[in-house]
């Protein structure tokens, strides 16, 4: 955190949460304020889990690509550019 904070913000926390913040700050070698700011900033970064529709879309695209690859192989076999795969 390279910029100077110029806003005071008082908050009441359960003692157990304050202790968790203190332990985390110590573990990360930073102040409690810096630890809280880092955690808050991290919470505003979008994650892929926040976009379930994206996963559906990617899955649909993957299926389309696989179908196109199969169709391309079939076409290339038909015109004699590649040999058909031997049966299993």
Residue 64's domain spans which residues? 48-78
Same domain assignment for residues 8 and 37: yes
Same domain assignment for residues 26 and 52: no
pLDDT value for 86: 75
pLDDT value for 15: 96
Same domain assignment for residues 39 and 8: yes
At how many degrees (to 10) do helices 15-27 and 32-43 cross? Answer: 90
Confidence (pTM): 0.50
Same domain assignment for residues 33 and 71: no
Q: Decide if pLDDT at 21 tops 80.
A: yes
Asked if residue 5 is part of any domain, the answer here is yes
> Could you give the angle at the alpha carbon of 85 between the alpha carbons of 81 and 88, nearest 5°?
175
Same domain assignment for residues 9 and 26: yes
Question: How many domains does the chain divide into?
Answer: 2
Q: Long-range contacts made by residues 44-50, C-beta under 8 angstroms, separation at least 24?
A: none
């Amino acid at each position: 955190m390279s910029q100077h904070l110029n806003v005071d913000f008082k908050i009441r926390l359960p003692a157990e949460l304050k202790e968790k913040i203190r332990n985390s700050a110590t573990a990360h070698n930073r102040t409690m304020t810096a630890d809280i700011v880092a955690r808050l900033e991290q919470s505003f970064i979008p994650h892929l889990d926040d976009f379930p529709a994206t996963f559906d879309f990617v899955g649909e695209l993957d299926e389309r690509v696989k179908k196109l690859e199969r169709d391309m192989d079939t076409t290339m076999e038909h015109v004699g550019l590649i040999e058909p795969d031997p049966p299993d």
